Chains A and B, each alone.
Chain A
Amino acid sequence: MRIEVKDLTHIYSEGMPFETVALQDVSFTVEPGTFVGLIGHTGSGKSTLIQHLNGLLKPMSGKVLADGVDVTEKSDISRSLRRKIGLVFQYPEYQLFEETVLKDVCFGPKNLGLSQEICEERAMHALRLVGLDAEDVRDRSPFGLSGGEKRRVAIAGVLAMDPEVLILDEPTAGLDPKGHNDILNMIQSIRQARDLTIILVSHNMDDVARLADRVLVMENGTLVMEGPPRSIFIREEQLRQLGLSLPSATVLMQLLAGKGYPVRTDVLTAAEAEEEIIRVFG
């Protein structure tokens, strides 16, 4: 599914003294099957933006189109398209509510009107996809699981709806390094298994550099930079002004270059840095 955002503007509390312009004339396109990283410091409008993509919020002006159809339309087509856009909020484990894990993951599919059998099938698939032992957790209470497990169950809840687009808002927030890596690996395996379009909102430049095909940079409600990671992360000065950092591998290479060594600075991952260092230093 292709998602197009055209001149999206959103204002909170319009007309009141607390009027805040959350988004201003934001435009971009997400091609099907790509991995888009959305970065920007807190308050730049990232969360507001993604809530427009599946129709949760309605724009003040501008449009969001899914395969050419306006997502805020009240038509059947629009609704079925909206249902294919999965949104995982920050700290998704707070949305768990059912008595058993299976029931909770089935909540989404049930709302789509599917039969109990299909729901359970999808739920079990989704649980496996997020790296859990589906048979083991299915009848346990979600409240008895560990934080990382709960988060996976929550994500499985969205995956069970079989979305074509998966939007994740800081899925690694609050996790320890191992948890962080686990979730990231999970995202990668999901991408491979299901060929989804993924939009990842993150503060972590290493993750974005590693996984994204394209990067969108937000600042104060506007889209200020857009392009493949390599061309974004090379603009160090501009990123710093926006309050953003660089992937650690890039920072390392820049430090080395600063000391006079003839290394490339447009590396994104530790692996690339390693290669480059070996190439230069032998």
Chain B
Amino acid sequence: MKPTQTSEFWVQAAVIGSLYAALTLLLSPISYGVMQVRISEALTVLAMFTPAAIPGLAAGCFFANFLGPNGVLDAVIGSLATLVGAMGTYRLRRRFCWAPMPPVIANALIVGLMLYYVYGVPFSPFYCVFWVGLGELVSCYGIGLPLARFLKKRRSDLGL
């Protein structure tokens, strides 16, 4: 039944977005700023379990930025990076260890280059990309991977 599928998909996406935004806001002291170790970035592993996470996470990132101290620019670019990353994770969902990689790369490139060109961080583009990538690596692999393992184990309980 198409209507059901559509509603369920988008509502689930919405709730994932809410989760991302809520968790980012809760942990706000460390969630913002350039060297962000966003716990919520670890949530990108949700894209391994449901495609609804793709638009959902992007929306969540948008609101997390919008409602936080950052402006529209970060919101748009950040969500774009999250969107691309989530798409990648979804594609790689069967390769468990590689799945968290796309957000790392997407954020590193997109946010990193934004830092260089827009914010004028005066080091080479590679440097910017590198540092953002590092932060992402910590979130996505350090927290994300154990989270993914946990989610996989408790999948049925959680309704995924």
Please give the residue numbers on chain A whose beta carbons come within 8 Å of chain B beta carbons, in ascending order: 99, 141, 143
**How far apart sit A141 and B154, CA to CA, in the bound complex (Å)?**
10
Contacts of A99 in B (CB 8 A): 154, 157
- Chain A contact residues: over half helix, strand or loop, or mixed? loop
> Can you list 5 A-B contacts with CB-CB less than 8 angstroms, sorted by A residue number?
A99-B154, A99-B157, A141-B157, A143-B156, A143-B157
Q: In chain A, what residue has the closest Cβ to B158?
A: A143
Contacts of B156 in A (CB 8 A): 143
**How far apart sit A233 and B154, CA to CA, in the bound complex (Å)?**
49
Within 8 A of A (CB), among B116-152: none
Q: In chain B, what residue has the closest Cβ to A142?
A: B157
Contacts of A143 in B (CB 8 A): 156-157
Q: In chain A, what residue has the closest Cβ to B157?
A: A143
Within 8 A of A (CB), among B9-45: none
Q: In chain A, what residue has the closest Cβ to B153?
A: A99
B15 to chain A, nearest CB (A): 16
**How far apart sit A141 and B156, CA to CA, in the bound complex (Å)?**
10
**How far apart sit A99 and B154, CA to CA, in the bound complex (Å)?**
8
- Across the A-B interface, give the 4 residue pairs with the lowest CB-CB distance, nearest first: A143-B157, A141-B157, A99-B154, A99-B157
User: How extensive is the interface on chain B, given as a class?
Assistant: under 10
A143 to chain B, nearest CB (A): 4
**How far apart sit A143 and B155, CA to CA, in the bound complex (Å)?**
11
Q: In chain B, what residue has the closest Cβ to A141?
A: B157
**How far apart sit A99 and B153, CA to CA, in the bound complex (Å)?**
10
A197 to chain B, nearest CB (A): 35
B153 to chain A, nearest CB (A): 8
A153 to chain B, nearest CB (A): 14
**How far apart sit A141 and B157, CA to CA, in the bound complex (Å)?**
8
**How far apart sit A181 and B21, CA to CA, in the bound complex (Å)?**
41
Contacts of B154 in A (CB 8 A): 99
B146 to chain A, nearest CB (A): 16
Q: In chain B, what residue has the closest Cβ to A143?
A: B157
B152 to chain A, nearest CB (A): 13
**How far apart sit A200 and B157, CA to CA, in the bound complex (Å)?**
31
A202 to chain B, nearest CB (A): 31
Q: In chain A, what residue has the closest Cβ to B154?
A: A99
B16 to chain A, nearest CB (A): 19
**How far apart sit A215 and B72, CA to CA, in the bound complex (Å)?**
55
**How far apart sit A99 and B155, CA to CA, in the bound complex (Å)?**
11
Contacts of B157 in A (CB 8 A): 99, 141, 143
B150 to chain A, nearest CB (A): 11
Contacts of A141 in B (CB 8 A): 157
B51 to chain A, nearest CB (A): 24
Within 8 A of A (CB), among B40-71: none
**How far apart sit A99 and B156, CA to CA, in the bound complex (Å)?**
11
**How far apart sit A143 and B154, CA to CA, in the bound complex (Å)?**
11
Q: Mark B98-131, 1 if CB is under 8 A from A, else 0.
A: 0000000000000000000000000000000000
**How far apart sit A12 and B159, CA to CA, in the bound complex (Å)?**
35
**How far apart sit A143 and B157, CA to CA, in the bound complex (Å)?**
6
A97 to chain B, nearest CB (A): 9
**How far apart sit A99 and B157, CA to CA, in the bound complex (Å)?**
8
Q: In chain A, what residue has the closest Cβ to B159?
A: A143
**How far apart sit A141 and B159, CA to CA, in the bound complex (Å)?**
13
Q: Mark B80-111, 1 if CB is under 8 A from A, else 0.
A: 00000000000000000000000000000000
A192 to chain B, nearest CB (A): 35
